[in-house]
Amino acid sequence: MRNYTQFYIDGRWTAPVTPATAEVINPATEEVSGTISLGSEADVDLAVAAARRAFGSWSQSTVAERLDLLRSIQAEYTRRMQELGEAVTEEMGAPLALGTGFHVGLGAGHLQTAIEVLENFKFEEQRGPTLLLKEPIGVCGLITPWNWPLNQVTVKVFPALATGCTSVLKPPQLAPYSAQILAEIMDKAGVPAGVFNMVQGQGSVIGAALSRHPDVDMISFTGSEPVGVQITKDAADTVKRVGLELGGKSAWVILDDDQMAANVAAATSGMMVNAGQTCSAGSRLLVPNARMAEAVAAAKAAAEAVSVGNPLGEVAMGPVVSKGQWNVVQQYIAKGLEEGAELIAGGAGRPDGLEKGFYCKPTVFKATNDMAIAREEIFGPVLVIIGYDSVDHAVDIANDSPFGLGGYVNGQDRDAAIAIARRMRTGAIWVNGGFDFHAPFGGYKRSGNGREWGRISRGQVDHRLRGTAPCCQAVMPRPPPALWPKAGPCRGSPRPAACMGPTA
Ligand code: NAD
């Protein structure tokens, strides 16, 4: 049992002002795995005050000082990777190999990337008669979701630290453990008092207090659209900046070529990674109508090959995060059937032999783009296959969505694939796989307004294509690497470990 009842405020482990606790449920067993404290506005006030005090000196720190600190954090993070991965598995149900591999590796990758970017970042630029300074924004409120818990925390905390900002982190209540260990790492690494603070608790209390707080300069939020809208409203009265990374319903276009069936299979397995709880998951698979039967067969075989079970075992898919999320997935499966979508694989209920735990069946529907299961984010292992008649038709379907977060195009003709990618209105697109920690991540439309990852973190510039090197085909359903490879562009050589596919 884990007992995480103290917050990290002003360089000290601090009891909540008003004691209150909540139990954390292990989604694989439905049993209590630990307890966290639930903070109040008073705890937020203390954390923000500490961050405000620390901003004066931290914003004036040198690049060398910040690099030293990031490297100390890196040493400590590396030492505790196994523990971090186990915490992710326990809090949100990712298979242990995924937790200790890809989940932890994403954090390691963002940390390494923050170091690389800081080493070369130009904070000053002479433009004609003007000296342009790029300055830290100030005190940042960082609010994160549970689905890739370490990824979301690290992609905010480390760039904030690197740029001279101070921060207050509010981790997800459903998955609070890995963030707590990260706070221990920051403490051990010697982060100066007040530069990084963490308060656990309910979003409607801690998140809202941060969003409204007059002494917070920016909110960086990753999570659902309704909460993003609420945060924007809450932040408006104090005119703070708000970066939103929200949901998606990303299209995955498979071109009509010799690799069509293999690409469909890889995309289907890819959809089931992290039990489909990935904001940029390719949850709408667009295949040529002329080859629909072949595509359906490939998707069915791939979905049925996904092993589901106890995340501590050798499985491809664990449970979804909570009873609530399980219910949402079941409701969408029922809705798909009601709307007349054709069930290809999976369906309602738990997989055979799993009586306890929030397990879902890897599910595939053949549907049309007007159905709710094709328009709304399900956030579970449910893939929708939609047929297209021509390239123009595929682009139209891809763009006919309220969201615009991720996108995928797979095909042997790389130029044709890139031409399609250019026409897709979405923030990030993977063409034939690939992975790059330096590529910007963020959405258009109702997927948000922010851009994160690499040097664009906290920036507002819209960059699009990512992973255009033809280094591998889509997502491979196998255990991820123990440690993410050194950050850098995919260079076209076969590096399957670097091509595990969509993240967060
Ligand atoms: P959520 O919006 O319910 O919660 C996200 C965070 O916001 C949590 O820490 C929560 O406690 C907090 N929160 C809740 N109410 C709040 C309020 N009123 N004010 C301030 N904070 C509040 O989302 P979730 O269920 O944790 O995560 C799933 C969602 O996140 C999905 O929609 C997914 O697509 C999205 N997501 C987006 C990205 C991205 O990069 N675009 C990445 C991962 C997840």
Q: List, for residues 174-232, the tens digit of each pLDDT value.
A: 999 999 999 999 999 999 999 999 999 999 999 999 999 999 999 999 999 999 999 99
Q: Which of 205, 220, 245 is the last residue of a domain?
A: 245
Best of 246, 323, 401, 445 for a ligand 1 pocket test (most atoms within 8 Å of beta carbon): 246
Residue 453 lies inside a defined structural domain of this protein? no
When pLDDT is averaged across residues 423-432 and rounded to a whole number, the result is 95
Q: Are 376 and 487 found together in one domain?
A: yes
Judge if 415 and 389 occupy the same domain: yes
Q: Is the pLDDT of residue 462 over 70?
A: no
Cβ(197) – ligand 1 distance below 6 Å: no
Q: Which tokens belong to 394? A: 């595929």
Q: Rg of the chain's alpha carbons, rounded to an integer? A: 22
Selected residue with higher pLDDT from 479 and 3: 3
Going by pLDDT thresholds of 50, 70 and 90, the confidence category of residue 501 is: very low
Q: Last residue of some domain: 213, 245, 277?
A: 245
Q: What is the pLDDT of residue 84?
A: 98
So what's the pLDDT on residue 454?
Answer: 80
Is the same domain home to 276 and 195?
no
Residue 143 belongs to domain with CATH number = 3.40.605.10
Known active-site residue 165: no
Q: Point out the domain boundary residue: 245, 267, 298.
A: 245
Q: Which residue has the higher pLDDT, 499 or 455?
A: 455
- What is the per-residue pLDDT for 457? 54
Q: What pLDDT score does 343 carry?
A: 98
pLDDT number for residue 456: 66
- The answer to which of 9-23, 334-348, 449-463 has the lowest mean pLDDT is 449-463
Q: Are 16 and 40 contacting, i.e. CB atoms less than 8 angstroms apart?
A: yes
The answer to whether 329 touches 346, Cβ cutoff 8 Å, is no
Q: If pLDDT is split at 50, 70 and 90, which confidence band does 279 have? A: very high
* CA separation for the pair 280, 261 (Å, rounded): 22
| Pairwise CA distance, residues 23 & 36, whole Å | 7
DSSP tag of 242: E
The DSSP line for 192-212 is: PTTTEEE--S-IIIIIHHHHH
Query: How many Å lie between the centroid of ligand 1 and the Cα of residue 318?
Result: 21
Residues 198 and 120 in one domain: yes
Residue 463, pLDDT above cutoff 50: no
The reply to whether ligand 1 has any atom less than 6 angstroms from the CB of 276 is no
Q: 3-class SS at 48?
A: helix
pLDDT of residue 434: 85
- pLDDT band at 389, cuts 50/70/90? very high
Q: What is the per-residue pLDDT across 123-157, written as a single tens digit (0 to 9) for each?
A: 999 999 999 999 999 999 999 999 999 999 999 99
Domains in the chain: how many in total?
2
DSSP structure class, residue 435:
-
Indicate if ligand 1 lies below 6 Å from the C-beta of 170. Answer: yes
Residues 321 and 360 in one domain: yes
**Residue whose C-alpha is closest to residue 320's, from 73, 30, 64, 53:** 30
- pLDDT tens, residue by residue, 2-45: 999 999 999 999 999 999 999 999 999 999 999 999 999 999 99
Contact 448, 248 (CB under 8 A): no
Same domain, 190 and 114: yes
Average pLDDT over residues 318-339: 98
Looking at every residue in the chain, the average pLDDT score rounds to 90
Distance CA 391, CA 383 (A): 21
Spacing, Cα 172 to ligand 1 middle (Å): 8
Atom of ligand 1 nearest to the CA of 234: 19
Res. 91: pLDDT tops 70: yes
Say whether pLDDT at 492 is over 90: no
Respond yes or no: is residue 279 known to be catalytic.
yes
Catalytically annotated residue among 245, 452, 472, 499: 245
DSSP codes joined into one string, 421-459: HHHS-SS-EEESS---TTS-B--EETTBS--BSGGGTT-
Contact 63, 31 (CB under 8 A): no
Angle at 47 between CA 46 and CA 48, to 5 degrees: 95
- pTM, two decimal places: 0.92
Q: From the candidates 165, 279, 360, 471, which is the catalytic residue?
A: 279
Cα(223) to centroid(ligand 1), Å: 2
Measured CA to CA, the distance from residue 249 to residue 313 in angstroms comes to 30
> How confident is the model at residue 481, as a pLDDT?
33
Domain membership of residue 128 as a residue range: 2-245
Confidence of residue 474 (pLDDT cuts 50, 70, 90): very low
Atom of ligand 1 minimally distant from the CA of 452: 40
Q: Indicate whether 50 and 182 sit together in one domain.
A: yes
Q: Is the CB of 173 under 6 A from ligand 1?
A: yes
Residues 76-85 have pLDDT tens digits of 999 999 999 9
User: Based on the domain organization, do 161 and 289 belong to the same domain?
Assistant: no
Residue 272 and residue 240 share a domain? no
Are 351 and 288 within one domain?
yes
Q: Output the domain CATH number for residue 369.
A: 3.40.309.10
Q: Do 263 and 213 share a structural domain? A: no
pLDDT of 402 higher than 50: yes
Residue predicted with more confidence, 361 or 491: 361
Inform me whether the pLDDT recorded for 471 exceeds 70: no
Say yes or no: CB of residue 144 within 6 Å of ligand 1.
Answer: yes
Binding site membership of 448 for ligand 1 (Cβ less than 6 Å): yes
